[in-house]
Amino acid sequence: MKYSTLLSALLASLLAASLPACADELSIAVAANFTAPLKAIAAEFERDSGHKLVASFGSTGKFYAQIRNGAPFEVLLSADDETPLKLVKEGAAVKGSEFTYAVGKLVLWSAKPGLVDGAGAVLQKGGFAHLSLPDPKLAPYGAAGVEAMKALGVFEALQPKLVTAENITQAQQFISSGNAELGFVALSQVLQDGKIEGSFWLVPTKLYTPIRQDAVILEKGRGKPAAEAWMKYLKGDKARAIIKAFGYELS
C-alpha cells in the first residue's frame, strides 16, 4: 500500500472515530423567526456532531396542530414558551426537556428609509395604507404586535389597514415587496451584520409580553441520541453566540 493511500485511510478512520457511533438524522420544527440563526447553528452542529438536521420552518400554531396530528417531528423550537409546556401536559413532548433558547425582540419595520421613525410615532400619524403582521392566533410575534398597538391606543384605528400573514416570513415578504409599507416582525429577520436596511422602531419590551422561545423534545424524539445532542448543543457557547448575534436576548 502506498504511503499516501495509507495516510488517507488513517485520517478517515480517525475522523470516523471522532464522530458519534450512531450519527443520525433529526427532524425539527422551527419557528419561522428563527430561520437564519438556525441555519447557521445547524451548519456548526452537523460539522461538530456528525448528525444531520432536517428543519421545517413555519408558525408555532400550525406546528402545534401538526404535532398533535402525528407529524414526524422529533424536536420543536417554538416562538413561545406556552406551546412546549402544553405539549408536555398533553403527553406529546418529553417532560423536563423544555428550556428557553432565546428571547425575541419585536420591531416595526419598513423597507422604505425614513418611513418609520425612532419613536414609532408613525402609528399615530398614519401616512400608510397597509401594515402587515403574522397571524396573532398562530404566531407569538403577531400577538405581540397587537399588544403593542393596544398599549399605544392605536389598534382600533389601524385595524382596517392590517394585512395578516400566515407566518412571520410571509409578513416580512409583504413588507419587502411593498404590498405593505410597514409591519411588525422579529428583529432577527431584519438585522444583518449589526445593521438594518430601511427604517425601523425597536418596540419597547414594556409594550408586550416577553417573547420567550422554548425548545422541547417531542415524543417521537424521546431517547434519540441526536435529539439529546442537539438540545445540548443549543445550550452551548457556539449556539448562544450565534443567537445573540441575530439580536435575541439570552435567558
The residue among 244 and 192 whose pLDDT is bigger is 244
Residues 112 and 96 in one domain: no
**36 and 124 housed in the same domain:** no
My answer on whether 190 and 110 are in the same domain is: yes
Does any domain span residue 84?
Answer: yes
- The answer on pLDDT for 20 being more than 60 is no
Residue of 61, 89, 67, 71 lying closest to 164 (CA atoms):
61
Residues 112 and 152 in one domain: yes
Count of domains observed in the chain: 2
Confidence band, pLDDT 50/70/90 cuts, at residue 3: very low
Same domain, 98 and 218: yes
Q: Tell me the CATH number at 79.
A: 3.40.190.10
Cell of 35: 430561520
In a domain, 10, yes or no: no
| Nearest to 83, CA basis, from 137, 151, 164, 150 | 137
- In this structure, are 141 and 90 located in the same domain? no
Domain identity same for 123 and 154 = yes
Are residues 136 and 187 located together in one domain of the fold? yes
- 116, 82: one domain: no
In a domain, 13, yes or no: no
Q: Is the pLDDT of residue 6 over 90?
A: no
Q: What is the DSSP letter of 198?
A: S
With respect to residue 111, please indicate whether it lies within any of the assigned structural domains: yes
Is position 6 within any domain? no
CA–CA dist 130, 240 (Å, integer): 36
Half-sphere exposure of 36 (CA within 13 A, CB side): 18
Between CA 21 and CA 50, with CA 17 as vertex, the angle to 5 degrees is 55
Domain residues for the domain of 139 are: 106-202
Over the stretch 101-131, which tens digit does the pLDDT of each residue have? 999 999 999 999 999 999 999 999 999 999 9
Within this chain, do residues 47 and 87 fall inside the same structural domain, yes or no? yes
CA angle 153, 127, 161 (to 5 degrees): 60
- What pLDDT sits at residue 194? 87
Q: Are residues 96 and 122 in the same domain?
A: no
Q: What is the mean pLDDT of residues 190-197?
A: 91
Residues 111, 87 share a domain? no
Is the residue at 151 inside a domain? Answer: yes
Q: Identify whether 134 is part of a domain.
A: yes
